[in-house]
Chain A
Amino acid sequence: QITLKESGPTLVKPTETLTVTCTVSGFSLTTGGVAVAWIRQPPGKALEWLALIFGNDDQRYSPSLRSRLAITRDTSKKQVVLTMTDMEPADTATFFCAHKDSGMTDFDYWGQGTLVTVSS
């Protein structure tokens, strides 16, 4: 079955770069049309899409955060990595990764999420 699991630091300092990793199983990261997305959720607030990477390595980014984000993958490790630069306290959030199937536009499987706090 399809599973996703996020990992990364629980605390980062302002101005630092965040790196979070999504380790997947049950599907191939290189299948056409399949994608993995990163979505964040500040405490008590709504979901916000950040970035997405397709099976052909095509990457998409939220226009409002594009300059701070990079999404990459390591197919041998079955991992998708998101980096976010210049972190600030307002970036404190739970970061989720999610699976999109080929030909679909919904996210049918989600990881449990990882809470990242930005504080000095």
Chain B
Amino acid sequence: EADIYQTPRYLVIGTGKKITLECSQTMGHDKMYWYQQDPGMELHLIHYSYGVNSTEKGDLSSESTVSRIRTEHFPLTLESARPSHTSQYLCASTGGGGTEAFFGQGTRLTVV
């Protein structure tokens, strides 16, 4: 079934750890996005990708990095997590000329 998956759903880690949030989609979409959302606040675009080997910074500056080696996979990495990185991270994709964004379930990250 075509879908967009994020793992893990919840993650609690210590300061200084390196983490990777996974996002995969089986929708055949070329464009993918990462949004960051603090509780009760708006979603902010932090990274996006037009396609394989394409990555761009979003509107909100982020210390995270992304890669797009395969069409279906768009992982987000934090080299050294800090408490300020505590947030919810949402992955989304669009494709086929459509404008509707399909979202994953999100990863709620807590850095202690």
A is bound by B: no
A residues sitting closer than 8 Å to B (CB atoms) are: none
B residues sitting closer than 8 Å to A (CB atoms) are: none
